[in-house]
Amino acid sequence: MPILVLNSSSPTLKFGVTGAPSLILSVPSPMLKLGTGGPSVVVTSPSTAFVLGMAGPQGAQGERGDRGPTGPAGTGGTTTITLPCDPAVSVGDFVALAGGELVVASAADIARLPVLGCVLAKPSSADATIQVAGIVSGLYADLTLGTMCFVGVDGRPVSGPPAPAPGGDVFLQPVGVALDAATLLLSPSMTISHVYAEP
């Protein structure tokens, strides 16, 4: 649909700012159509020049509408999960997934890594609820304040990396930082280092 149709007795139409047109169109007909199809605006004048000036100032902003209703609350991040487990898994153990179930993690066996979290509860002998991140308190009593903790060979946290026996090896996976003797800031790393000791 056209925006503008101009009818003039003169074949010369000027478009631009008053006094300084930026475009002059000369046409053999006194009618100039801008666009296609039926016009939406028609301007007729006996003058030989039509000057389209600059746009006027913007009008004032309208009032803000009412605030919409508050959306539903988010569920937040999930830090615990319940999964099937080996019956040997106990509360306080660090666990890994193996064979489709949780097993006690061990720094001595890469097949029992990486650690996913620590066991908070056993709803049944075949299920374990684990925490995967955040503050763990009351499950341990011998952590060293401020030290990085690793999973030990027995599946429990140790302050500092476990040392391999002569001729042996261990796999080091950080699991968090001790905030005091009984509190761990749990944050298992997915980076595992292999350490070997000379005989």
- Ordered by start, the domain boundaries in the chain are 4-45, 80-196
Q: pLDDT digits over 109-119, tens only?
A: 999 999 999 99
pLDDT for the residue 59: 81
Select from 126, 196, 127 the least CA-distant residue to 165: 196
Does residue 104 contact residue 119 with C-beta atoms inside 8 Å?
A: no
Fold of 80-196: Virus Head Decoration Protein; Chain: A, (2.40.300)
pLDDT for the residue 103: 98
Does residue 83 contact residue 112 with C-beta atoms inside 8 Å?
A: no
Asked whether residue 51 carries a pLDDT value surpassing 60, the answer given is no
pLDDT for the residue 63: 85
Q: Which of 10-14, 52-56, 79-83 has the highest mean pLDDT?
A: 79-83
Gap between the Cα atoms of 183 and 143, Å rounded: 8
Gap between the Cα atoms of 37 and 91, Å rounded: 80
Find where tokens 């001729």 sit.
167
* Three-state SS at 189: coil
